[in-house]
Structure 1
Amino acid sequence: MYSIIARLYLFLKIAVIVVFETVTLGKARCKCKTKLDGKVALITGGNTGIGLETARDLARRGATVIIASRNVEKSEAAVKDIIKTTGNTKIHFKSLNLLKFSSIIKFADEFNKEYNNLDILVNNSGTTMFKQNLSEDGVERVIQINYVGPFLLTNLLMNKLIASKPSRIVIVSSKANEFHEIDPDDIAGVRPLDALTRYSNSKLYNILWAKALAKRLPEGVTANAIHPGIVKTEIFNTLTDRMRKVVLWVISVFFKNAEEGAQTTIHACVAPELELVSGEYFEECRIRLANKVTRDEKLVDYVWENTMKLVNDRLPRPL
């Protein structure tokens, strides 16, 4: 009985998000013609959905694009697809599993040795999971893939980003952050919560993280969070079959495809007027006010400090 009630509650919360998004529906596009020849862009989860379309756009602009993902087959297919559709052969795949700190460390070590610069880092990977389980690092899996793993990765690549400035960090968040129930003393996400709340928490942490980074980054390195809109992508694959079919049908009729959903991410990556803009939250290629709790500077710092402690407690060498 609890399982049925939990699923109904989750479905109703998703419905609220859909209705709210319908009211503010838009399909803004990134219109700038910025070229990226000689630039290096790294996109987590760049083998499908918004990440794939972001990678394709940056490739068209001439960037060297690295797709970071754990799915080898999909990533190799994505590389071939991008090369075929853009003519840019500087597209590569590197294996990365954000559910394992050991994989993140290995990836960062190899990347730092292999590439001389990192001009754009897009923390795009995201997931939803109905069941709440911890990773081998003791972090709830949605929180780790959506927030803690990217947090670690970005810190391990920070010296490369600083050396490459002007450089940009783009963090994909979601309007779903409005349904958060965050506990900054439980960054690992051990407290029992429903699936949407865990997802919402991870996306609110993303916005807080962008603001914390902006306070700590040197001039020339920026960090911003974005909401792509409601998009038909594979992120919904972890929902139950019936729920996924309903959600994807609604999205396909009323909302965005992956190419449309990638536009705000692309804008944050390349718009020349954003070169010095940092710590902001974007929707429809415009700066918007985020959740009011993100304007609590003490909370921003507290979440940063607790996340840093969580990560350092699990690393062989601290950041």
Structure 2
Amino acid sequence: MILAAIYYLLLIVLYLYIALCLLTLLVLLYYKIRFEPVKGVCKSNARLDGKIALVTGGNQGIGLETARELAARGARVIIACRGAEKAAEAIQDIVATTGNKQVEYMPLNLSKFSSIRQFAADFNNTYDRLDILVNNAGCGGVKPRYTEDGINLVMQVNYFGPFLLTKLLTEKLIASKPSRIVIVSSILHFYGNINIDTLDKIVGHSLKAMFYNYSNSKLCGVLWAKALAKKLPEDISVNSLHPGLVRTNIFNTLPPWFLKVFMFICDVLNFKTPKEGAQTVVHLCVADEVQNVRGKYFSECCEAKYKRVVKDEDLVDRVWNKSVEVTS
């Protein structure tokens, strides 16, 4: 009887595993057909000689490919991230593939406001301009915890940290105009549901709560682009974007058993490479036709629809005010 019970229990687990895999496959297949029938490509040939670009998280994934493309166009590129070793490898790779030796590293930890303030002070004292700021670094799938600043880790790394960084670099962006700010968001912002009172807090520890927490951080990015467009001079382009389904190491936080299945599905569905995922980012950095576009949301190098609530000017202002309060 005991052996039979174990057998049936294992069978149930197997069926649930198969069902989860099939459900994941169907969801991602629907997404690919509905939202990514083609992969957008940046068609601009614009050069960036004499310009300075800052890419957070530029040592890997989409950030690395963005930094590489900007360097290939002649920009002086600063990679801002935590790991000096990975940054050194990324710089060596970029220099070898582009021939541009103007690629540098500056330490930045978005989960610490003290690190952000130190970075901004060092940057402002070192460089006389900032033409392009790419807020790319982010995290997802991590266990809920608070940072040393008392803020939900995912919200700080994905939103409050970049918010503070941009605020501290705003004078350089204004002095360098026409300049650009690019915010890497996600289509998952559609699932966000903002509560101003708990915006910086951990609300729930379930997988569902973690999913909505990540989605909220990406929705804040879209709302933030809208707010910046209202507050910054007109010749500073600021927009958010969805890079597409990209196979990067952000998925490494998934449970190992599910990660293998997920990566297999990524291959079957032809997920984007980091280089393909960087195309819309690069488009917003260099394309002439978006220099005067502000507060919009892009996907596949084209303007796309965002969540309807982003049109709520009162919400945009309240999220902005809360962000100023949290980062002060």
Verify same fold: TM over 0.5.
yes
The residue type paired with residue 79 of structure 1 is I
Report the CA distance between 1:12 and its aligned residue.
6.3
The answer to whether the 8 Å contact 1:56/1:82 transfers is: yes
Report the CA distance between 1:244 and its aligned residue.
2.1
In structure 2, C-alpha distance between the alignment counterparts of 1:29 and 1:122, rounded to whole Å: 18
The answer to whether the 8 Å contact 1:162/1:221 transfers is: yes
Deviations 1:176-212 (A, max 9, x none): 1122232122220322252211111100000000000
Query: What residue in structure 2 maps to residue 82 of structure 1?
Result: 94
In structure 2, C-alpha distance between the alignment counterparts of 1:17 and 1:311, rounded to whole Å: 36
Query: What residue in structure 1 maps to residue 31 of structure 2?
Result: 20
Question: Cα gap change, 1:148/1:212 in structure 2, threshold over 3 Å: closer, same or farther?
Answer: same
Deviations 1:107-158 (A, max 9, x none): 0000000001000000000111341101011111111111110000000000
The residue type paired with residue 256 of structure 1 is K
Residues 1:264 and 2:280 are matched in the alignment: yes
User: Which ranges of 4 or more aligned residues in structure 1 deviate by more than 3 Å?
Assistant: 11-18
In structure 1, C-alpha distance between the alignment counterparts of 2:26 and 2:82, rounded to whole Å: 31
Residues 1:223 and 2:238 are matched in the alignment: yes
Number of positions where the alignment pairs a residue of Structure 1 with one of Structure 2: 307
In structure 2, C-alpha distance between the alignment counterparts of 1:209 and 1:89, rounded to whole Å: 33
After superposition, residues 1-319 of structure 1 pair within 5 angstroms as 16=27, 19-25=30-36, 26-192=38-204, 194-254=209-269, 255-312=271-328
Report the CA distance between 1:239 and its aligned residue.
1.6
Report the CA distance between 1:214 and its aligned residue.
0.3
Report the CA distance between 1:18 and its aligned residue.
5.7
Report the CA distance between 1:235 and its aligned residue.
1.0
Question: Cα gap change, 1:133/1:253 in structure 2, threshold over 3 Å: closer, same or farther?
Answer: same
The answer to whether the 8 Å contact 1:21/1:229 transfers is: no
Q: Which runs of 5+ in 2 are unaligned?
A: 1-12
The answer to whether the 8 Å contact 2:25/2:265 transfers is: no
The residue type paired with residue 247 of structure 1 is F
Normalized against structure 1, the TM-score is what? Answer: 0.92
The residue type paired with residue 64 of structure 2 is L
Superposed CA RMSD: 2.0
In structure 2, C-alpha distance between the alignment counterparts of 1:18 and 1:228, rounded to whole Å: 17
Deviations 1:208-243 (A, max 9, x none): 000000000012112100000000001112221122
Question: Cα gap change, 1:94/1:32 in structure 2, threshold over 3 Å: closer, same or farther?
Answer: same
Q: Secondary structure at the match of 2:198?
A: coil
In structure 2, C-alpha distance between the alignment counterparts of 1:18 and 1:195, rounded to whole Å: 23
Q: Which has the larger displacement, 256-265 or 233-242?
A: 233-242
Query: What residue in structure 2 maps to residue 317 of structure 1?
Result: none
The residue type paired with residue 276 of structure 2 is E
Question: Cα gap change, 1:102/1:14 in structure 2, threshold over 3 Å: closer, same or farther?
Answer: farther
Q: Which has the larger displacement, 218-227 or 60-69?
A: 218-227
In structure 1, C-alpha distance between the alignment counterparts of 2:49 and 2:108, rounded to whole Å: 25
The answer to whether the 8 Å contact 1:45/1:51 transfers is: yes
The answer to whether the 8 Å contact 1:189/1:198 transfers is: no
| Identical counterparts, % of pairs | 50
The answer to whether the 8 Å contact 2:297/2:306 transfers is: yes
Q: Which has the larger displacement, 146-155 or 179-188?
A: 179-188
Question: Cα gap change, 1:75/1:15 in structure 2, threshold over 3 Å: closer, same or farther?
Answer: farther
